[in-house]
Chain A
Amino acid sequence: MSAFAKPLKIALGLAVIAGLIIVPMNFNRYGLFILSQWAVMAIAAMGLNLTLGYAGQVSLAQGAFVGIGAYAAAIMTTHGWPLPVAVVVAIALSFAVGWVLGYPALRVQHHYLAFVTLAFSTLAFLVFRNESWLTGGIYGISNIPRPHILGIATSKPLPFYYVCLGSLAIVSLAVWWLIRSPWGRAFMALRENPLRAQSLGIDTKRYTLMAFAIGSALGGVAGALYAPLTQYIDPVPFNLSLSLDLLMMVIVGGAGFYFGPFLGAMIAVLLPEWLRFTEGYYLMLYAVAVMLLLIWSPTGILGILDRYLAERRTKAASALRAVAKSRLETVQ
Chain B
Amino acid sequence: MNAVLEVTGIKKNFGGISAVDGVSFDVREGEILGLIGPNGCGKSTLFNCILGQLTPSGGEVKLDGKLVTGLRPAELNKLGVSRTFQLLQVFPKLSVRENLILAGQEHQGNMASRLVGRSDAGLTEAANQMIGFFKLDHLADEPAGGLSYGQQKLLDAAMAFMGGPRLVLLDEPAGGVNPSMLADLKDRLVAINREKNATFVVIEHNMEFVMSLCSRVMVMAEGKVLAMGRPDEVRKNPAVIEAYLGH
The answer to whether A and B come from one shared complex is yes
A185 touches B102 (CB 8 A): yes
B83 touches A199 (CB 8 A): yes
- In the assembled complex, B196 has its CB within 8 A of some CB on chain A: no
The distance from the CB of A54 to the nearest CB of chain B, in whole angstroms, is 11
- In the assembled complex, A6 has its CB within 8 A of some CB on chain B: no
- Chain B 81-104 near chain A by CB (<8 Å), digits 1 or 0: 011010001111110001001110
Contacts A181-B115, A193-B89, A196-B85; A201 near B78 (Cβ below 8 A): yes
- Contact pick for B82, options A185, A199, A202, CB 8 Å: A199
Determine the interface band of chain B, counting residues with CB < 8 A from chain A: 20 to 34
A183 touches B82 (CB 8 A): no
- Contact pick for B114, options A183, A193, A197, CB 8 Å: A183
- Chain A 136-172 near chain B by CB (<8 Å), digits 1 or 0: 0000000000000000000000000000000000000
Contacts of B72 in A (CB 8 A): 198
- In the assembled complex, A180 has its CB within 8 A of some CB on chain B: yes
The distance from the CB of A202 to the nearest CB of chain B, in whole angstroms, is 5
Contacts of B85 in A (CB 8 A): 195-196, 199
B98 touches A195 (CB 8 A): no
- In the assembled complex, A175 has its CB within 8 A of some CB on chain B: no
The distance from the CB of A317 to the nearest CB of chain B, in whole angstroms, is 9
A188 touches B91 (CB 8 A): yes
A186 touches B94 (CB 8 A): no
Nearest-CB residue, chain B, relative to A185: B102
B74 touches A193 (CB 8 A): no
Considering the complex, which residues of chain A in the window 169-211 have a beta carbon less than 8 Å from any beta carbon of chain B?
Answer: 178, 180-183, 185-186, 188-189, 192-193, 195-204, 206
A178 touches B115 (CB 8 A): yes
The distance from the CB of A300 to the nearest CB of chain B, in whole angstroms, is 15
Nearest-CB residue, chain A, relative to B156: A196
Contacts A181-B119, A196-B89; A188 near B78 (Cβ below 8 A): no
Residues of B within 8 A of A (CB): 51, 53, 72-74, 77-78, 82-83, 85, 89-94, 98, 101-103, 105-107, 111, 114-116, 119, 159, 162-163
